[in-house]
Amino acid sequence: MTPLLQEKSALENELEQIQRLDRLRRDLNDWFNLAQAGNEAEEAELALLIEEQLDSFDNLISELEMAMLMIGEESGLGAILEVHSGAGGVDAQDWAEMLLRMYLRFAEANNWKTEFLDYTEGDEAGVKSVIVRISGQNAFGFLRGERGVHRLIRISPFDSSGRRHTSFASVDVIPDVGQTIHIEINDADLRIDTFRASGPGGQKVNKTSSAIRITHIPTGIVVQCQNEKSQHQNKDSALQVLRSRLYELELKKRESAKKADYDDKDLIAWGSQIRTYTLQPYRLVKDHRTGTESGDVEGVLDGNLIRFLKEYLLFKYAKEND
């Protein structure tokens, strides 16, 4: 989709939300008027209908609030999400796969498309690292706050002694610039290596060197893709990821010049977790930046992230406008 069509789609979506909000407001007024003029037998039924309309109204207000918190031209773009297992061995690799599932479920709930660009299986279970392209309006704006280290505390299913383990995985999210923003890359600045690819889920190892690793020599940025069938397709995908990383680097330079650290660089440092998911001895998910907590650990790991994402966006908005 071209930038013009993306902007047109975003404006149409915003207009549709405003029109829905106005329709709900008028419907609520009508239901309230009916309730005032109705008899006792109708009151209970009308009360239920009004409650449903109020819930819809509240949900739509929440959606509009989230849209207002999307700061920066890159917020409306899709996202390239990376998950890497950290300290904790096989537990960490299993934890990385749990996080991957959480983000895939969140994307599914928002009707966003997902595409694997790279996938490295764990030694015994889970994944060592994975790169996923998430295509959808405001995907980066929603997920940008997930960058950092995520910590899991649980009784390890891989420990025969049933001991409690702490595992870490890092998440990185960058805007997917795709073809929407022109980033000039000089071929002389690239070192391109090929290697044999292996697919997720125990797929057979590729017999040809179709996987691509690209190193951008001036910046030292390294990207790789192996999930396409051909070397050419993997190269195209890797170049798209590289463009997104170079775009993010340029954004950081501009932000640094403005003395506004929007990217929370300290939060991405290894060992400085942004969120802890505790399964034992109690059940709690806590965001250490905003203080947001939830006892519904299963719901969060099943993709119900909206409360954490909204609180983070409010936190960032307040911080940047302090």
Decide the pairing of beta strands 78-85 and 164-176. antiparallel
**pLDDT tens figures, 243-291:** 888 888 887 776 665 444 434 434 334 557 999 999 998 999 999 999 9
The pLDDT assigned to 201 comes to 45
The pLDDT assigned to 274 comes to 95
**Residues facing 116 on adjacent strands:** 132
Phi, psi (rounded to 5 degrees) for 104: -65, -40
**pLDDT tens figures, 191-220:** 999 887 765 544 444 556 788 999 999 999
Look at domain 187-257 and name its CATH class.
alpha beta
Q: Which residues contact 194 (CB under 8 A, 6 or more apart)?
A: 209, 210, 211, 212, 213, 231
Look at domain 74-179+258-320 and name its CATH class.
alpha beta
Q: Which residues contact 179 (CB under 8 A, 6 or more apart)?
A: 2
The pLDDT assigned to 316 comes to 84
The pLDDT assigned to 90 comes to 93
Tell me the pLDDT of the chain averaged across its residues. 83
CA distance 89 to 28: 55
Q: Where are the domains of the chain?
A: 3-68, 74-179+258-320, 187-257
pTM confidence score:
0.71
Helix, strand counts (H, E) of the chain = 8, 11
The pLDDT assigned to 269 comes to 41
The closest of 171, 31, 189 to 96, measured between CA atoms, is 171
| Helix/strand/coil percent split, the chain, to 5 | 50, 25, 30
The pLDDT assigned to 31 comes to 76
C-beta separation of 310 from 287 below 8 A: no
Low-confidence ranges of the chain (pLDDT < 70): 1-7, 10, 37-42, 179-181, 198-208, 254-271, 322
